[in-house]
Structure 1
Amino acid sequence: MTQNSIRMYIMYVPCYYTKKIPNALMNELLKYLNDVKKTGITYVIQHEKNAWQLKKFLEENKKQAIICGKILGCNTDNAEKYEKDVEKFIYIGSGKFHPYNLKAQLGKDVLILDPISQTINKISYEEIKFMERKRYARIAKASLAKVYGILVSLRTYQNNIEKAFQLKEKIESAGKKAFIFAGNDINDSNLLGFEVDAFINTACLRINEDEFSKAVINMSETEWI
């Protein structure tokens, strides 16, 4: 830290969703698990109590269920530990970003149980193929770049500055140019005007889903360029 730096301590306080999953919704879920013997339950932190409620319900209905742990930000490591132990994942939460990552990375079916909207959905094959086409298009465009901008977030748990410097060295050793851009808010408007051909994202995986003027790929996709 520099002489003028200020150390800031961060306290994380979990806030739980207090309502229970309706029995009717859990009974509806059973229809998706007819041929499934063992499922993995993952969730965002506010639905942790719902996860234990669902586990008890499934076991009462002769279904094995493993609590795989919470998904924090873009980190799905907790679920990945149980990849070989379960046939299908149940994600308790809303939206499709986290379940899409699970489906894309692990290849297992993912059911989305949303206690708030009281709905059950799943990531369809068509959605996966559409997202994959967009992904490969970004990679193809980025592979033609001669100058890369490496995006680094200053936010807690998203900062990968060391990996950014490793990427920079790797790119430059291949005869191309690379510059590091660091900030709290990574979006297209903050990156306009810089003379780079493509960006490499080292922060939240969701960033490259936003609309950018230039191709944005994630760290794991640099092996293709």
Structure 2
Amino acid sequence: MFDLELEKVSKWISDGGFASVAVQLPEGLKIRAPEISQYITEHTDASVLIIGRPCYGACDLFDHRGWTDALVHYGHSKIPSMGDDDTVLYIEARSDVKIDDGVRDILKDLPNNVGVLATIQYIDLIPEMCKVLEDIGKRPHVGMGDRRICYLGQVLGCNCTSAENIADKVDCFLYIGEGDFHPLAAAFGAGKPVIVLNPITNELRDMSEARDRLIRRRFAAIQTASGARSFLVMVCSKAGQCRMDLARGAERIIAESGRECITAVMEEVTPDSLASYGVDAYVCTACPRIATDDSARYGKPMLTVPELEIALGRKEWVGYPFDQIRG
């Protein structure tokens, strides 16, 4: 179960004197929107507006001004480099799951030096996991990322600096969480094996195959885009994903290679939003995972800027160049 901290939310709204509040939820928590809305309505004088659009992270923070007095953003931690806002409350929805005693047996074959990572929902399990690893004779390591990262050991889909900063000290990383999205970032960026522990099912799996499969797809996209004569460079209007300087750099790379280029700013990158542009390939400066994970949806090759440099002969392929949004 994920803690919605409804008492804290209601107190913050009442203490702030907010007459209206927007609630932003990731897809996995939208099923609990009625519960959240009803609780706030019953325990405060504020009206509630649920934000219905997709939400992928704190980089996707809804601009509530003009809509409501305040915003409650669920499911993600704040991004320190984006600054503070007294009208925004982050509720991280941490899990109450505990490390099962049986996990010792399935971790005994890990190498000696283990970096420990987690998504925000399971960040509280890192100290407990470090104790478990020490008990079975391993040496745990936990790193701090750059200013885009809020907690020790935290990994985002676009930023694995918590892993990157201790990669030279570890033989592998143990990621506590579910799914592939976050651990793939560490598998791409840290250059060491990443093992995923699902704390709910006690399932342990290696990300190497998923990483290698995705890298093969990226190599194919780069090869295809190398013959493109025209490119669309995409800039995201979301504050946490806007990298205009990177887009200008991509424009220069394309121009210097003798190719054509147009640049467009977008709120959401979807197949429909790209369909009208008559170009041969796309360059994404928004969330890099749009290119790496979702490119099969678009019909034309989509590259990150480091991949663009390889496609146009500016750099050699020496290891996979994971594009991170750094803080």
Deviations 1:127-171 (A, max 9, x none): 343222211110011111111111122223211111101211221
Question: Is the 2:159–2:185 contact (alpha carbons within 8 Å) kept by the matching residues of 1?
Answer: no
| Cα distance in 1 between the residues matched to 2:239 and 2:119 | 18
1:20-39 mapped onto 2 (5 Å cutoff)? 20-24=98-102, 26-33=103-110, 36-39=111-114
- Structure 1 counterpart of 2:222: 139
Deviations 1:55-93 (A, max 9, x none): 111112221101232012311111100010111100111
| Cα distance in 1 between the residues matched to 2:250 and 2:227 | 17
Given the superposition, is the C-alpha separation of residues 53 and 156 from structure 1 closer, same or farther in structure 2, using an over 3 Å criterion? farther
Deviations 1:156-212 (A, max 9, x none): 321111110121122113221111122221111211021111001112222122211
- Structure 2 counterpart of 1:50: 125
1:76 correspondence with 2:160: yes
Residue 49 of structure 1: how far off its partner (Å)? 0.6
1:215 correspondence with 2:301: yes
| Cα distance in 1 between the residues matched to 2:172 and 2:257 | 41
Gaps of 5+ in 1: 1-5
Q: TM-score with structure 2 length normalisation? A: 0.62
**For residue 75 of structure 1, what is the amino acid of its counterpart?**
N
Gaps of 5+ in 2: 1-64, 71-84, 144-152, 313-327
Deviations 1:86-138 (A, max 9, x none): 1110011111132223223333111101113331111244x343222211110
| Cα distance in 1 between the residues matched to 2:307 and 2:159 | 17
2:141 is matched with which residue: 66, 69, 76?
Answer: 66
1:154 correspondence with 2:237: yes
Q: Percent identity?
A: 28
Q: How many residues align?
A: 216
| Cα distance in 2 between the residues matched to 1:139 and 1:11 | 41
| Cα distance in 2 between the residues matched to 1:28 and 1:191 | 49
- Structure 2 counterpart of 1:12: 90
Residue 52 of structure 1: how far off its partner (Å)? 1.3
- Structure 1 counterpart of 2:169: 85
- Shifted more, 175-184 versus 85-94: the winner is 175-184
Q: TM-score with structure 1 length normalisation? A: 0.88
Deviations 1:18-57 (A, max 9, x none): 1212111x22332331xx2110001111111111110111
Question: Is the 1:52–1:67 contact (alpha carbons within 8 Å) kept by the matching residues of 2?
Answer: no
| Cα distance in 2 between the residues matched to 1:70 and 1:164 | 27
| Cα distance in 1 between the residues matched to 2:165 and 2:106 | 24
Q: CA RMSD in A?
A: 1.9
Residue 14 of structure 1: how far off its partner (Å)? 2.3
Q: Extract structure 1 runs of 4+ deviating beyond 3 A.
A: 6-11
Question: Is the 2:156–2:182 contact (alpha carbons within 8 Å) kept by the matching residues of 1?
Answer: no
Which of structures 1 and 2 has the larger relative contact order (alpha carbons within 8 angstroms, sep 6+)? Answer: 1
